[in-house]
Structure 1
Amino acid sequence: MSLEIRIAAPEDAFAACTVLRRSITECCVADHKDDPAILGAWLGNKTPQTVASWFESPTNYSLVALKDGAVIGVSLLTGAGKLALCYLLPEARGLGAGKAMLAKVEETACNWGVKAVQLHSTATGEEFFASQGYVRSGHVRSPYGVDTIFFWKQLDRGAAPDTSQRKRFCNCNSA
């Protein structure tokens, strides 16, 4: 098996769209519960044209994972440090492609000066992100009707938090 992680190109959009749609439909049943309204809303923007536009955006860092030359995974990091996509084909789970994409995303985020990566995970992906050092920080309802888990991961582990620039919201401790 040959596994490769590389920057996504617009030509990868059709295959990446297939990954997204199959992963959501087949792997995230616990999240969408086969509800046609939720699935329709969640899959609504997962078209090759939209995915190609995400890949072309200069503010996004998009990756595809390939096994023997075929796209099996897709991830996307926004310039704000949000992991907006991290999906695999059902048969590609457990091969290490998710971990490999996540490592490249985190490396890029560090190079951009991003202090922490954040994401909204499905229940299906929750244990994966927790096992990669992401911290659960509450629940958020997605626009398409799925309860998600908000995760974040600090990337600048060696730096102490800078508290000198924090705004004071009241004068109660100013004495």
Structure 2
Amino acid sequence: MGIDIRKAVPHDAANACALLRRSIAEVCEPDHRGRPEVLDAWLANKTPETIAAWFASPTNHAIVAERDGQLLGLALLTQAGRVALCYVEPGALRIGVGRALLAAVEEQARAWNIRKLNLHSPESCATFYERHGYANAGLEKSCFGLECNLMWKQLDAKPEEMDAKRKRFCNCSE
């Protein structure tokens, strides 16, 4: 009963949309705190049609995590090295779904010869990415008005090199 990772297809869009919306509303509640101006902006492009287009785009690598046919998570990597989506079903947190999705995205990035990944993480999820080797470059306002952590990871770096860069792009000690 492991977690299966597979390429997302446009047919997955409706279920993926429902999962995204639940995850943002519930898991990210400490970040948006139910503020309609933030939550509505965050959810505005989370429609089955938009998600199907993201999944179908040849410049995106979209994957889903399943167990026994049930969708547990999804992730999307762009060819520009941006992890645009990495969301887990609220009831499936802390069982390895996010870790499996992130590992699969990083594997695809390496196959595309992408050396550095970046993403915006809400504050409540930043520690997850830090545990998986992402450096936190500080807060940045997202397109939907939420202060998010700009996270990045050098894929070809050794773990000890990443430790030295963990806090800032500039490699300063603060």
TM-score by length of 1: 0.88
Alignment partner, residue 154 of structure 2 = 154
Distance 1:59 1:23 in 2: 25
Measured after TM superposition, the shift of residue 30 of structure 1 is 1.1
> What percentage of residue pairs aligned between the two structures are identical?
47
Alignment partner, residue 28 of structure 1 = 28
Q: SS in structure 2 opposite 1:53? A: helix
Q: How many residues are matched? A: 159
Distance 2:120 2:2 in 1: 30
Q: SS in structure 2 opposite 1:125? A: helix
Distance 2:107 2:3 in 1: 19
Alignment partner, residue 38 of structure 1 = 38
Distance 2:130 2:109 in 1: 18
Distance 2:143 2:81 in 1: 20
Q: Compare CA radii of gyration and give the structure with the larger one.
A: 1
> 1:4-83 maps to which residues of 2 (within 5 A)?
4-83=4-83
Code of the residue aligned with 1:138 in structure 2: it is G
Larger % of helix: which? 2
Measured after TM superposition, the shift of residue 72 of structure 1 is 1.1
Measured after TM superposition, the shift of residue 59 of structure 1 is 0.2
String of CA shifts for 1:4-59, please: whole Å, max 9, x gaps.
Answer: 11000001001110111000000111111101111111000000000000000000
String of CA shifts for 1:32-89, please: whole Å, max 9, x gaps.
Answer: 1101111111000000000000000000000000021111101000010000000001
TM-score by length of 2: 0.88
User: RMSD value over aligned CA atoms?
Assistant: 1.2
Structure 1 stretches of 5 or more lacking a match? 161-175
Q: SS in structure 2 opposite 1:106? A: helix
Code of the residue aligned with 1:126 in structure 2: it is A
Structure 2 stretches of 5 or more lacking a match? 162-174
String of CA shifts for 1:113-149, please: whole Å, max 9, x gaps.
Answer: 1011111101121110000000001111112111100
Alignment partner, residue 106 of structure 1 = 106
